[in-house]
Amino acid sequence: MKGSPFFIWEEKLRRLKAILKSWVKSLPSPANERKQAHDRLAQHHAQSEDVEITKEVLDKEAQLQQTFHKSCLSEEEH
């Protein structure tokens, strides 16, 4: 790279910015995780309407609600 030290510094920052933007896009989106958790919870609700309520069904719902809550918090923090 040729040029003044300031130009070289700017060029390095520009390249770093492009790399960081690409990296951020590869990370999982908290909004997508929340939507998936919500969809799994809604699917469980739909399926549990036609079955007997058992401890396993309630435990599964509690676990899905906890996952959904965590994903909402993660999205809010993001």
Tally of structural domains, the chain: 1
What's residue 40's pLDDT?
Answer: 96
Q: In 3-state terms, the chain is what percent helix, strand and coil (to 5)?
A: 80, 0, 20
CB atoms within 10 A of CB 40: 15
What's residue 44's pLDDT?
Answer: 94
**The model's pTM:** 0.63
What is residue 3's DSSP assignment? S
Does 1 or 44 have the greater pLDDT score?
Answer: 44
Question: Torsion angle of alpha carbons 17, 21, 22, 27, nearest 10°?
Answer: 140
Q: Mind listing the pLDDT tens digit for each residue in 56-76?
A: 999 999 999 999 999 999 988
Q: Mind listing the pLDDT tens digit for each residue in 8-24?
A: 999 999 999 999 999 98
Query: What's the domain range around 37?
Result: 5-77
